[in-house]
Structure 1
Amino acid sequence: MSVFRKFFNKFFASSFLIILISTSVSAQDGEALFKANCANCHKPDVDFTGPALQGWKSRVPEGDWIYNWVHNPAKMIDTEPYAKSIAAKWKPIVMTPFAQLSHEEIDAIMKYVDDYAPPAAPVAAAGETAPKEDNSLIYGILTLVLALVAFILLQVNSNLRKLTDEKEGIKRGEPVPFWRNKTYLMAGILLLFGVGGYWTINAAIGLGRQTNYKPTQPIYYSHKVHAGVNQISCLYCHGGAQAGKHANIPSVNVCMNCHMAVKEYKGDPIVREDGVQVNGTAEIKKLYA
C-alpha cells in the first residue's frame, strides 16, 4: 500500500509540474496568443475591425480594467464609462469575450502588442527578379532511374522463377524477349504517354496566352490597402493559392467577413494605375448592391 501511495504522489506531483510548466510557457507566447485570439479584429499598430492596441496603457484605466474588459466586455459596457465610450465609437462592432484567457496570457498578448514593430518590406534591385526554380530535369531523371530499377527487378524475378521451375522439373515454354513482351510494351507505351503528356501540358501552359490579361473588375480592389496597410494575410482571401497554381478570386462572402462592419473607407487616397482617384467608400457599397 505504501508503494502505491508513493507512486501516486510522485505521479500527481509530476503531472502538476508538467501542467504548470506548459501553462507558463504558453502564457509567454504573446504572438501566438494574439494571432489565435485577437488578429481577426485587431492590429497592433493600426485600426482594423477594432482599434489599434498599441498605446493601450495610456488610454485605459489602471488596475484590472484590461482583464475585466477581455473577460466580459458586455458587463463593462453596462457599468464602466470608458468601456461605454469604446462601444459607442466602434458601434455596431462588439468585443468578443475571452473568459478562457488567464491574466498571464493577457499580459503576454499586451507585451507583444507594446513591443510590436511592423516588418520592413524587402527591397529588390531595379529590374531584378527572383530566379524561378525548375526541377523538371531532376524529376525526369528520377523517373527514368525508377523505371530502369523496375525493369531490372522484373528481369531478376523472371530469372529466379525460371531457375525454380527448372529445379522442380517444371517445363515451361521459352521466355518471350522483353522487346516482344506485351506487358513491357504496354508499360513503355503508358510511360511515354504520361511523360509526353506532362511535357505537352507544361509547354502549353508556358505559351503565355494569358500574359497581361487584366479584365475590368466590377469592384476596384487595392492590394496595397488590404495586404499592405491592413496586413491581411494573402491566404485569407486566396485560400486556393496554398494548394494549387492559381490564387482564385474570393467570393463576396469572404469580403463580407470584414465589410459587414467596415462600411466606410478612411485611409489615404486610392489612385488607379491610370491616375484616376478611386472613391473607396463607393466601392465598398457595391458589395451590398
Structure 2
Amino acid sequence: MNKITKKVKRNVFHRVAFLCLLVLFTNSFSFAQEESDSNNVSLEASASAEDVATVDGEDLVMKGEKLFKANCAACHSIGDNKVVGPGLKGISDRREREWLGKWIINSADLIASGDADANAIFEEYNKVPMPPQPVSEDDIDAILAYIKTPPVKQDVVADVSTEEVVVEEDSSVSLIVFGSVALILLVLLVILNKSRVSIARLAAEKEGVSFDGPVSLMEAFRFTLRNNKGLVAAIVIVLFFTSLVKLMDGAFTIGVHTGYKPEQPIKFSHKIHAGDDKIDCNYCHSSARHSKTSGIPSLNVCMNCHKYIDGSHGKTFSYNGEEYSMEEEIKKIYKALDYDTETQTYGDNPTPVKWIKVHNLPDHVFFSHQQHVTVGNQKCQTCHGPVEEMDVVEQSSPLTMKWCIECHGETGVATKGNGYYDEMHSRMTEEYKDKWLGDDKLTVEEIGGWECAKCHY
C-alpha cells in the first residue's frame, strides 16, 4: 500500500468519525430545542387551564393566581421587573396588609387622605392613581398569598368540565430514547476508530514504517479539525446562521397570540348570537362606531333580550367542545345584576363580571375602531375573523405591524355610499383621481396609511 492510499484511507476514516460527531452534536441541539418547546407548551397549557378552572375548593394560592391574572397581570409582575406599575416581589414585607387593602380597593382615596407612601408612589408614576379593583378583602389575601409563594408549575392539563387532572407523557421517555441513540452513535464511533487504527498500523507494517497517526477518538477528532479547516469553517458558518435565523423567528413570535381563546366566566356563544340569531356586532359593541374601543357590553344590554329569554326551555349549547345549559348561564347574568326574576326588579348588590380580554395591542400603537368601522366601513371579520362561527372567541389574526401594513396596502376602503369621502373626492385633482381611483380601488396606503405617525403618534 503506497503513501497516497494510506493518506486517503486515513482521511476517509477521520471524516467519517467527524461526521458522526457532528450528527451527535446536531441531535443534541435538536433534542434540547424540542425539550424546551415541549416545556413551554406544557407551561402554557397549564397556565391556560388554571385561568379557566373554578376556584371552589382550591387553596388560597391557586385562587390568588387566577385573581392576579384577571386583575393585576396587565400592569404588574410577581417579580422585580416593572411592567406598567412596579414589580410586586416582597410587597407583603414592604407594606402593611391594611395599607395594601386600602391602596388596592381605592388608591385615589388613600392619596387624598395625605398618606405619605401613597403620594410618593403617585408622584413616581406620573401622577396616575391605580384604578380601583373590584376585589374583596378575602380576594386581596389570596392575591398576596400568590405573590408571596407562587405555585410551581406542573406538566398537567386541567379538564374544565370535570376538573380532573390529566398527566402528560413523562419527558423521561424522550430522554431515554435520546440517550440510547447517543450511546449507539458513540459505540459506532469507537468501533470505526479502532478499525481505522488497525488498518493504518497494518498498512504501516507492510511498508516497513512506524505508525504515527492519531490513536484515540479525541486525537482523531483534533486531527480532522486541523486538516479540514475549510469544512469546519463552512459547518460553523452554517450552524451560526441557522441559530441566528431560529433566534429571529422566535423573536417575531413575541407578543403574538394568534389562537388565544380564554374561556369567559359566563359561557357566551358568539355563534348563537352573531351567527344563528344574526345580531349585528354593533348592537352589543355599540361604541365601535364612535370610539377608539369597541367596548365591553354592559349586562343591561344582555337584559334587553334575556329579561324575556331565560333559557327555561331547557336547551343546551356547545362551548369549547362541551355542552352547557342556557338557563344556568343566563342565571349568572341575573346573579351579577342582583336581578329577581319573580318580581323583575334589580337589587342593590350588583357584582361586576370579570371578562377576560382576548385582543391586545402594545401601548405605543394607536388603533381606532371608529376609523375602521365608520370611516373605512370595514366589517368586524376583517380583523377578528369569522366571529359568527365561533363558540369561544379567539384571536384570529396576528395583529402584528406587518399584518396591518399588508392589510393597508391591499384592502380597499369602502368609499361608495360613504359620505366621509365625498369632500375628499371633490377636492382631488384629476391627476390623483386617475392615479388612485383608476383601478376603482382606494387603499389606506394611497391616502397616507403607511405614514408612521398614523399609528405611532
TM normalised by structure 1 equals: 0.36
TM normalised by structure 2 equals: 0.24
